[in-house]
Amino acid sequence: MSAEERSRTDRYDATAIEPYWQGRWAELGLYDTDLADESKPKYYLLTMYPYPSGNLHIGHWYIMTPTDALARFHRMHGENVFLPIGFDSFGLPAENAAIKNKINPRDWTLKNIANMRGQVRSMGATFDWKSEVVTCDPAYYRWNQWIFLKFLEAGLAYRQSSPVDWCPNDGTLAREQVEGTDRHCWRCGTRVEKRLLDQWYLRTTKYADELLDFTGLEWPEPIKTMQTNWIGRSEGAEVVFTTAPDDHQPGGDELRVFTTRPDTLYGATFMVMSPEHALVPKLTHPSRKAEVEAYITATGKATEIERMSTEREKTGVFTGSYAINPVNGERTPIWIADYVLAGYGTGAIMAVPAHDERDFAFAQKFGLPIARVIAGPEVSDAEVETPLEAAYIAHGDADRMVNSGLHSGKPAKKGFADIVAQLEKEGRGKASVNYRLRDWLMSRQRYWGTPIPVVYCDKDGIVPVPADQLPVRLPETVDYAGSGSNPLNTDESFVNTTCPKCGGPARRETDTMDTFIDSSWYWFRYLSPQDATAPVDRAIEARWCPVDQYTGGAEHAVMHLLYSRFFTKAMADLGMAHEREPFKRLFNQGQILGADGERMSKSRGNVQDPDELVQRYGADTVRLFLMFMGPWDQGGPWSPTGIGGISRFLNRVWHVTLDPHGVDNGDPESGVLPAGQDAAAAEKVLRTAAHRTLRTVSEEYAGLRFNTMVAHLMELSNLLQRYRGTEIAGSAAWDEAIRLLVLMLAPAAPHIAEELWSRLAAARGEVWSSIHATGWPAVDESAAAQEEREVPVQVNGKLRDRVTVPIDMPEAELEALVLARPKVVAALEGKTPLKVIHAGGKLLNIVVR
């Protein structure tokens, strides 16, 4: 470095240093990972890629800069670190912006990406830009299409007509995109309606059981719990009831129900079908037709409003038909009610009001019989016939069956198994497992997404687009005149095509894919973004997957993080990848809220832009401040209060490093060793502190505890400040402490560390080499060891005294010493100690009575 450059700042001037080093690092290609390099252990560090909204806000910094610190930390440990980045660039905001500004979503998106690339660079993050992935690029989304075709071939993708959640603004939604009691759209907040549509699905349910298995994954417990609950496995039985003949229909239809309590089968006093159930029209007696149809219309329309009511009173109507209970031959009335969901189980239930709260409430409201068939141990045989005041749900080992024919008197658990066996034998049912998880509804009636690569031919039906004709490209010019509706529908040049099978005229599918498809496999693509033969190079994938550490928000618990696991398993089964789990270790950082405590959003006007802070303090200060705020998984409302403390800290590091002999005027003690301490003792103190800090800070980086990591660096710099200008400043111990401080700072505040490192090298007349390519220092355990320790002394658990003793003083000696201390004697009030507890060498507790 030239003298001119070196003198560019005598003060710490971040705005001069940071662009300089960012340029140097890029020039040297310091962070372009060589994926083929096997000489070092691999470390795949992934952070959730951003949506190109246009501007990087403080939340992006909160996610990315600690992740970058982790990357630098691992790199200094000699690992081959891969930290890629990309843009999740399909989706509605682009389309909405396009409609508003009458431009193409592509132009809007690409402009935003260009802008955000520069902003990301200003953080000093070590992303490997060579591997960048942009999902709206045909070179990316063609592989969405390719994978989709493989799924289609394997039966993992299918088209089906079914009632879907429909948002008037955003079209169809996946189930997890519908939120709240009032069932509103996760994006625009509009109430969601039900519509019957032909839609594309992915068979996520095929992997339901495997998705419940988290073996080997280091994921936060809450996320695993959420996914487990979302998949919602329940074991029970499917039971076949048969409809009874009557004057309007011949009967004999199978009415299948799912129950988790086959042991209560004798207590089924009525049946309930969902209003959408296929048998409803047939089973509705002519005399009840008007009432039933009115109910169906009412529930279809008013569902959301009724569900808003906290009482949630049960509603329903009798169909006029009956079904025969397979175990006791009883005729049970068939009702319809909207508390039975069409999409779960078989869409119909056997109602056992005595042992289910919802059925109980329904029976009470409509005066239906309630028959107890399970009794707890506290209920005597004589009491069994007493009417229940509430449903008896408990399912303990002591429960026994009553009023259940031959099964009466059996423990309920045995009855459960016996009834299932009996049903199976008679062909009237079977053991069955149900999941709350549904198949993934992936079609969207939108322009700005990956076209689903199929065509519809009058002759050949649904025909996949052959792989060699991929990608099916989005038309570049689209008409947004009729805003809201999918412009692909009216784009004749897109829609009209020929059938790949017969060559005749055909129409393209105009639905596009849910953007969560893009993010379900993007980390694979990072590994071989240019590969023209496969979504991912299997050899590279075998070496680099799974991702070692993934960082991102917990709001993706049951969407992105579950879809990604599904994709990985499906891709493995279809031979595209080896690994069955995408992310070995997951960390959910918290969310930075606006200053008002609300989620940051443009519409609320509480979005925090880091640019002003970066200009004033520099990127390093902002990075460190975000890490220092609190535990990374916590987040919280944004406030820049306190950033001055970080700024002061870095200035202090600057001064102790570059001006060790300076003396501070305001302090008469400055430049003088503490009373009673000679140079040797002071050096020992400094060395001990430096190595102990190194040990702690190393653990804190590895454990992602950045807030306390920064605090410990502050303590060390405060200690150095104390010794600045004294006779030990510039000694070997001093220089070592400075060197360790700068090295420990390097991952978190990379620019200032690099600048100081280069100046230290220059001062020694050495050639600069990057601090980030330097090995992480090793703790000198002999230096970190202490010769003395301070022992707090308690009497009956109350702190009364402290003594400083040699570290290796035997317990008996320590005890004698402590018991002679005046404060301890006073606290004992003449009583004799019962025992003295030496708590792991940390503290002494004297117990008296």
| Residues 622-681 close enough to bind RNA by CB under 7 A | 628-631, 634, 636, 641-642, 644-649, 651-652, 664-670
Site for RNA in 562-581 (CB under 7 A): none
604 binds RNA (CB under 7 A): no
Q: Is 278 in the site for RNA (CB under 7 A)?
A: no
Taking CB under 7 A as the rule, does residue 825 contact RNA? Answer: no
CA distance linking residue 581 with residue 44, whole number of Å? 14
Question: Hey, is 507 helix, strand or coil?
Answer: strand
Residue 558 lies near RNA (rule: CB under 7 A):
yes
**Under rule CB under 7 A, which residues in 287-326 are in contact with RNA?**
306-307, 312, 314
- Cβ neighbours of residue 358 closer than 8 Å, sequence gap 6 or more: 314, 339
Q: Per rule CB under 7 A, is residue 832 in the interface with RNA?
A: no
d(CA 378, CA 220): 41
d(CA 668, CA 666): 7
- Which helix (H) or strand (E) covers residue 569, if one does? helix 560-573
Single out the segment in contact with RNA by CB under 7 A; choices: 58-66, 232-240, 244-252, 461-469.
232-240
Site for RNA in 149-178 (CB under 7 A): 175-176
Opening angle at CA 501, ends 495 and 507, nearest 5: 15
Residue 222 engages RNA in binding (rule: CB under 7 A): yes
- Interface positions, 322-351, toward RNA (CB under 7 A): 338-341, 344-345, 347-349
555 touches RNA by CB under 7 A: yes
Dihedral of the alpha carbons of 203, 206, 207, 209, in degrees to the nearest 10:
140
The answer to whether residue 181 forms part of the interface with RNA (CB under 7 A) is yes
Exposed, middle or buried by CB within 10 Å (0-12, 13-18, 19+), for 442?
Answer: buried
Q: Judged by CB, which is closer to RNA: 290, or 839?
A: 839
Query: How far, in Å, are 67, 510, 626 from residue 640 at the CA level?
Result: 21, 47, 9
Nearer CB in complex with RNA: 123/646: 646
Task: Tell whether residue 708 is a contact of RNA (CB under 7 A).
Answer: yes
Q: Which residues pair with 453 in a beta bridge?
A: none
Closer by beta carbon to RNA, 381 or else 699 = 699
CB of 127 to RNA, least distance (A): 27
341 or 390: whose CB is closer to RNA?
341
560 touches RNA (CB under 7 A) = no
Residue 358 makes contact with RNA by CB under 7 A:
yes
Question: Counting contacts by CB under 7 A, is residue 822 touching RNA?
Answer: no
Whether the Cβ atoms of residue 450 and residue 141 lie closer than 8 Å to each other: yes
The residue range among 45-53, 206-214, 702-710, 766-774 that interacts with RNA, by the rule CB under 7 A, is 702-710
Of 20, 230, 318, 366, which lies in the binding site for RNA, with binding defined by CB under 7 A?
A: 230
Phi, psi of 795 (to 5 degrees): -120, 120
Q: Sheet harboring 549-553: ordered strands across?
A: 80-82, 42-47, 549-553, 586-589
Region 449-508 residues binding RNA, contact defined as CB under 7 A: none
CB of 540 to RNA, least distance (A): 35
Query: Does residue 242 contact residue 306 with C-beta atoms inside 8 Å?
Result: no
292 vs 15, 222, 275, 367, CA distance in Å?
73, 43, 9, 18
| Backbone phi and psi for residue 651, each to the nearest 5 degrees, phi listed first | -60, -40
- Please state the closest distance from residue 261 (CB atom) to RNA, in A: 5
Which of these segments, 222-230, 363-371, 395-403, 752-760, binds RNA (CB under 7 A)?
222-230
Q: Which of residues 52-81 bind RNA (CB under 7 A)?
A: none
Among 574, 711, 779, 803, binds RNA (CB under 7 A): 711
Give every CB contact of residue 250 below 8 A, 6+ residues apart in sequence: none
| Using rule CB under 7 A, residue 366 touches RNA | no
Taking alpha carbons only, the member of 144, 689, 777 closest to residue 450 is: 144
**Are 31 and 120 contacting, i.e. CB atoms less than 8 angstroms apart?**
no
**Shortest Å, Cβ 265 to RNA:** 11
Residue 486, amino acid: N
Cis peptide before 471 (omega within 30 of 0): yes
- Quote the least distance from Cβ 305 to RNA, whole Å: 11
Indicate the SS3 state at residue 642. coil
Among 131, 199, 319, 434, binds RNA (CB under 7 A): 434
Q: Are 717 and 649 in contact (CB under 8 A)?
A: yes
Residue 466 burial (10 A CB sphere; 0-12, 13-18, 19+) = exposed
By CB under 7 A, tell whether 221 contacts RNA. yes
In whole angstroms, the minimum distance from the beta carbon of 435 to RNA comes to 8
Q: In angstroms, rounded to a whole number, what is the distance separating the alpha carbons of residues 341 and 781? A: 65
Within residues 372-431, the interface with RNA by CB under 7 A covers none
Taking CB under 7 A as the binding criterion, the range among 396-404, 516-524, 780-788, 836-844 that sits at the site for RNA is 836-844
**Piece of 73-81, 121-129, 159-167, 839-847 that binds RNA (CB under 7 A):** 839-847
Per-residue binder mask for RNA (CB under 7 A), 761-800, x = binder: -----------------------------x-x-x-xxxxx
The reply on whether position 802 binds RNA by CB under 7 A is: yes
